[in-house]
Amino acid sequence: MSRTLSFAAAPPTSPTTLQEIASTHPKGVDSSARALDIAKENIALNNLDSGVISFLRQDATYFMKNAISNGDTWDIVILDPPKLAPRKKGAASTAGRKITVIRQAGAACDHPIDPSYPEGEYLSNVLLRVL
């Protein structure tokens, strides 16, 4: 069984994406009670099985440190936290891991960017293989 861990507990709103994520028995972790409430509402609005999706109100850094200590692993990890590493360059080596960048991308087409306001181009995502 695949496992998904999300540190952005309010999941994506695309029903297709939600269905795909739900099939991996995801766990949503967020320190914000409001974000967890929104995530639960989103699950209900999209008619997903709330029995396979779990949520935990906890600080992401604390959760990750405990997960490492317990030897917990996930097949998919979704991160949308505040800045956790002082520099991207050293984040993997500081954690004792090696990464390979599979793909880098920006915002999806449902998040248009106004050419007169380039600061709006703040969304980015990176698909990584972590070894």
The answer to whether residues 76 and 104 belong to one domain is: no
What pLDDT was estimated at residue 70? Answer: 93
The answer to whether residues 33 and 74 belong to one domain is: yes
Query: Can you give the CATH number for the domain in which 36 is found?
Result: 3.40.50.150
What pLDDT was estimated at residue 83? Answer: 60
> Is the pLDDT score of 32 beyond 60?
yes
Cα 120 from Cα 105, distance rounded (Å)? 15
The answer to whether residues 67 and 91 belong to one domain is: no
Q: What is the pTM of this model?
A: 0.61
> Is the pLDDT score of 57 beyond 80?
yes
Nearest to 48 by CA among 56, 40, 58, 37: 40
Task: State how many domains the chain has.
Answer: 2
pLDDT tens-digit series, residues 88-115 = 666 677 777 888 888 888 777 777 778 8
pLDDT tens-digit series, residues 60-79 = 889 988 998 999 888 888 77
The answer to whether residues 93 and 59 belong to one domain is: no
Nearest to 11 by CA among 36, 34, 31: 36
Cα 82 from Cα 80, distance rounded (Å)? 7
The answer to whether residues 47 and 71 belong to one domain is: yes
3 state DSSP class of 86: coil
The answer to whether residues 52 and 108 belong to one domain is: no
Domain residues for 103?
Answer: 85-131
> Is the pLDDT score of 9 beyond 60?
no
What pLDDT was estimated at residue 127? Answer: 80
Q: What's the whole-number mean pLDDT along residues 111-127? A: 78
